[in-house]
A and B are shown apart, each in its own frame.
Chain A
Amino acid sequence: MNIYVLVKQVPATDKVKIDEATGTMKREEVEAVINPLDLYAIETALQIKEMFEGDIHITAISMGPPKAEEVLKEAIAMGCDSGILLSDKAFAGADTWATSYTIATLIKRLNHFSLVITGERATDGETGQVGPSLAGQLDLPIVTYTSRILEINNEYIILERETEEGTEVIKMSLPGVISVTKAIGEPRLPTLKGKIKARNTKVEIFDLERLKVAKEEVGLSGSLTRVVKVFYPKISRAGKKIKTKDPEEAVNLILEFLEERGIL
């Protein structure tokens, strides 16, 4: 069975700096990491490998600049078998539709597969749209917010899905796409053996030519949405700021405020 896990390299978002003149992120100044939520997608694939009776090959797939190879190496160090990087200047600036389209095109070019696994969302864009959009484009079934894998065989997977109201138990025929949440379980750490394997494994690169897609279909030119403005929010309530050295006084203010609003 072939499983594809989608991983993304993201800036360590706590430290992002914005160029106020252009409204773009100063990427070069920011440390890049594997999207933390993608670790749970990798963990899910490894759990499936343990519970499935038969051979499983896990391929981590990413799209990004050449440097994004790092996240694929990290995925291999955790236990994935191989890595593929979609990398070409033409892929840059893709919105979620163009990203999904590019990945969908790759997946059509690859071997038969059973499952595509994604994290819940990336911590930079925070859309969570690529998994379902990919499923829509490939006409595959999708289960989002997967919290637990109960059973898998060659025909189907049974899993739990978390909604606002509770837990659904869902059976999905394969092939299909799932996105997983943190509830799936703490991601395992890379092993020494894995790290050695990662060092010795060559990540496959697919560029525009190898992917055989038209330049207009990918990246910024293939995107349906456009960012027209980036700005710092100017939110302001005419509130009073009270500097107080006396915590008692602060507490009294809070209590009065709550009383005025009928809370206490």
Chain B
Amino acid sequence: MSREVVILGEVRGGKIHPVTYELLAWGKGLSEKLKTKLSALILGYNLKGLEEVIHYGADKVYYFEHPRLDIFNPEVYAEVLVPFIKEIEPDIVLAGATTTGRTIMPYLAGKLKAGLTADCTSLDIEEESGLLLQTRPAIGGNVLATIKTPNSKPQMATVRPKGKKPLEKDPKREGEIKTIKPEINLNSRIERLDFKPREEEVSLVDAEVVISGGKGLKDPRNISLLFEISKLIDSSAVGASRAVVDMGWIGYPHQVGLSGKTVNPKVYIAIGISGAVQHLAGMMNSESIIAINKDPEAPIFQVADIGIVGDALDILPILKRKLEERKG
């Protein structure tokens, strides 16, 4: 049997973070092709709900429990994970492309001399070699590249949160939970002194409707139209393309795409966004997509359920008025 596929689960605020379940869905596709086990590594303290990790697809959970694993610290994580990965020699290690995953994975890869591919949008196994095929947008998000790690193990990759739906939860699924109480004697050079939680007004990733604007809005002042329309649609939030964020029309938290957030709302409305791979990478898993663009050749139309060839600035004011009329 080949060596196991491992996902690095995430714990935030003392709870298992949903990205963990998405990672299991990614990992399952690979472990089944390799006919091997799918294991989850969970680092934390006093955690509950570990059986859920099994219900969502893990064959085995390695739970590392220690008070110092309560919050993320790359040095402490590496202290636990480097020797463990060397010991179990997994074939593949996956993590979420979150602030944690994007920190710990390259830090580990640097220590393990392991190949790592960031922000994958699809993962597969090459039949003849059994190697991991990692596909991600490349060259500024203009094309997709498939990347292999031919000669070293583990093969490491991060995937975007919300890039895949978790598998259906199966409470009857069985698996093994192995609790490990590591000794951590490290005198860490990093110490968290304080934490101030943020109250995010736009929870872009949780919104049911995302209304995103791009260069086709022509003027930064027109961004306000998006917000006015968003106020009229329940559970909606405003997104933007990288171009307009770079130009300073709207803040970075609104950016959708490879270098921003990944969203998969019920409806994604792309307004004046041409649809570079960079942007598509962040929204193409939306349940449905409406595109408005003047250029009939814009690539955004290739992913749209409804494509409207027209000027956003003609359409938006009417949309706003009609929504207002409905609200009375």
Contacts and interface: CB of A to CB of B under 8 A. Distances in A.
B290 A166 contact: no
A11 to B, nearest CB: 7
Given A14-B243, A96-B106, A166-B196, A263 B306 contact: no
A242 B190 contact: no
Interface stretch (B24-32, B174-182, B216-224, B318-326): B318-326
Interface of B, secondary structure class, is mixed
Given A225-B115, A236-B302, A97 B197 contact: no
Interface string A246-258: 0110111111011
B319 A254 contact: yes
A51 interface: no
Q: How large is the interface on B (under 10, 10 to 19, 20 to 34, 35 or more residues)?
A: 35 or more
A185 interface: no
A210 interface: no
B266 interface: yes
A132 B143 contact: no
Interface string A230-249: 11110111011111110110
A250 B310 contact: yes
Contacts of B48: none
Interface residues of A, number: 85
A167 interface: yes
B158 to A, nearest CB: 9
B36 interface: no
Contacts of A124: 139-140
A225 B98 CA distance: 21
Contacts of A158: 193
A240 B139 contact: no
Interface of A: 10-11, 13-14, 16, 18, 23, 25, 36, 95-97, 100, 121, 123-137, 139, 141-145, 158, 161-173, 176, 182, 223-233, 235-237, 239-245, 247-248, 250-255, 257-258, 261, 263-264
In the A-B complex, the 8 residue pairs with the closest CB atoms: A136-B110, A13-B140, A224-B115, A133-B110, A132-B106, A129-B106, A169-B194, A173-B189
